[in-house]
Amino acid sequence: MKLSRDGWGGLVALIGSLLLFWGTLGLKDNPLVPIGPGFYPRIVLGITAVLSLWLVLADALAEKQPARSEPLNYPLVALTFAVFGLYVVALPYLGFRIATGLYVAATSALLAPPSGAKSWAGVVLLAVLTAFATHLVFERYLLVLLPRGTWTGF
């Protein structure tokens, strides 16, 4: 019995829903109302577990077709997520303008590596413009506050 991605996806959903279902068993009912806070979550998680089990079983019993694989650049996806993760971590420390400038430059250079001084200048220009234009539009004109950096003070 070999599982394909459907089966694995179903298995992850099954385990997650069962763990959360177990978590609802510790919820205390409120004596003032006929149904407690665990009533609906138990229904939803129970249904999710049953459906996930169906997905796993259907996949396990299905005849597998050979999967067509297209070469995809997963390392680039991982790096793009990693840079975004760093941006999110850096935002409260560096503040919006600096963190955004660094993020835009890093991601842009990652997705299309610059090959000469001109393209590096383009990357820097895009980063600076994005950071300052968004800050100007949102903070000055739309009165939307953006994150301040605890290290930088702005």
49's tokens: 């577990």
Cα–Cα nearest to 3, from 13, 22, 72: 13
Q: State which of positions 18-37 bind another protein (CB under 8 A).
A: 20, 23-24, 27, 30, 33-37
Is 90 one of the binding residues for another protein (CB under 8 A)? no
Q: State which of positions 33-72 bind another protein (CB under 8 A).
A: 33-41, 44-45, 47-48, 51-52, 54-55, 58, 71-72
**Which one of 76, 136, 150, 154 is in contact with another protein (CB under 8 A)?**
76
Provide the mask over 96-115, with x wherever binding to another protein is found by CB under 8 A and - wherever it is not: ----x--xx--xx--xx---
Closer to another protein by Cβ: residue 76 or 121 = 76
What burial class does residue 138 get, using C-beta atoms within 10 Å of its C-beta: 0-12 exposed, 13-18 middle, 19+ buried? middle
Is 95 one of the binding residues for another protein (CB under 8 A)? no
Please write down the long-range contacts of 142-149, taking CB distance under 8 Å and 24 or more positions apart.
146/96, 147/91, 147/92, 147/95, 147/96, 147/99, 148/95, 148/96, 149/91, 149/92, 149/93, 149/94, 149/95, 149/96, 149/98, 149/99
- DSSP H helices in 27-144: 39-61, 74-94, 96-111, 117-135
What contacts 51, CB < 8 A, 6 or more positions away? 13
Q: State which of positions 124-153 bind another protein (CB under 8 A).
A: 126, 130, 134, 137-138, 141-147
Is 120 one of the binding residues for another protein (CB under 8 A)? no
Which residues are near another protein by CB under 8 A? 5-6, 8-10, 12-13, 16-17, 20, 23-24, 27, 30, 33-41, 44-45, 47-48, 51-52, 54-55, 58, 71-74, 76-77, 80-81, 84-85, 87-88, 91-92, 100, 103-104, 107-108, 111-112, 122, 126, 130, 134, 137-138, 141-147
